[in-house]
Structure 1
Amino acid sequence: MSDTEPPIRLAVVVGSVRDGRFGPVVAAWFAARARRRPAFAVDVVDLAETGLDAGFAARLEVADAVVVVTPEYNHSYPGPLKTAIDAAGGAWRGKPVGFVAYGGLSGGLRAVEHLRCVLAELHAVGLRDTVSFHGAAGAFDVSGEPREAGADAAATVLLDALASWSQRLQAVRP
C-alpha cells in the first residue's frame, strides 16, 4: 500500500453478546495490533453495543475488510452473530474476512469452520490464516496480552492477508 492510498477500513466484530464474555479482551488485543499498521483504519464493532441489525449492517457496509472475533459455543459460533450476519446480507459481498477465535480445547476453530460456509454463501472471502486461542481465559494475562509468544506472529500473518485480499477484491465490491 502506498502512502497516497486511503487506509483499509477494517471492522473488528465482537461476535458474542453474553454477560461475562471474553470477546472484548481478545478483540481489543487484535485491534491494537491492527492499529499499529498505518494501512488500517480500525472500527471495533461490538454486537452487544451496536445491535444485530441496522446498526451492525451500516458499520459493515463501509468496511473494506472484516475480522470476526468469535468464541465457540456448542461446537459452533454464537446465535446472535448469525443474526447479525444475516441482517447485513449484501454488505459482506466482496470483502475478505479473517477470524480470531477462542475457546476451550479447539480454540474456537470449529466455530470458524461453520462461519466460512455461511460467509461464502454471502460472497465474502474467508481467509485461511486464523488466530486461535485455546483455553482462552488462561491464554491472556491480566493486562489483556496473550501469554503465547506466537500470537503476535499469527496476527501479523492475518493482517498481511487482509491487506492483500482487500486490494484484490476492491473491484468486486459493490
Structure 2
Amino acid sequence: MPRCSWCGSDPLYVAYHDQEWGVPERDPRALWEKLVLDGFQAGLSWITILRKRDNFRAAFDGFDPERVAGWDEARIAGALQDPGIIRHRGKIEATVRGARLFLDIEAGPGFSPWLWSFVGGDPVVNGFASAAEVPAATPESTAMSKALKARGFAFCGPVITYAFMQATGMVNDHLTGCPRHAEITRPSAV
C-alpha cells in the first residue's frame, strides 16, 4: 500500500512520515517544541522547517523551556544572526514568550493534558481515503487556537494547530490506504 502522498520521495520527509507524523506524543517538552516549529512554519513549507530542525534545537537550547524563558534581548539578537534557523524576530520573540507560558501551564493543569483535552484525551482516528477529504482546520483546532491565543501564544491559528494535532498524533490523518493509518491506530501504538 502506498504511504500518504504529501511526503513525496524526499528521504527526510519519508522518514518523518514513517516514524513521527501522527504518533501520539505526550511528552510536554516535545509538544512545546513541535508547537514552536509549527509556528515557525507559518508561511513556509514543513520540509523547510524539517531540514532546519537540528539547527533550531541547537539555537533554542534543545527546546528546554526553562532556559528559553530566561532569554534576554542579547539572546534574541544572537538568534536573529543564526543562518541555520528562520530569522524572524516576531517568531523568535513568540518562542521566548511561549516558553514562559509553557512553564505557567505546566505548573497548573500540565501542558500535555491541557493540549490533549481538546481531543478528549485520546487520538481522533479519521478515515479519510484521499488528501482532498482532509480538512485544513476543525472545531477542535479552532478551540485550541483560541485557547492558546487567550493565554498569549502567537503563530498558532487554527490551521497551524490542526497541523500540530496531526503531527503529534492527537489526530490520525494518515489516509486509510497508508500502512501507518492502521499501525498508529492499534492500541499498542497509543
TM-score, length-normalised on structure 1? 0.30
TM-score, length-normalised on structure 2? 0.28
**Which of structures 1 and 2 has the larger relative contact order (alpha carbons within 8 angstroms, sep 6+)?**
2
* Greater percentage in strand: 1
* Greater percentage in helix: 2
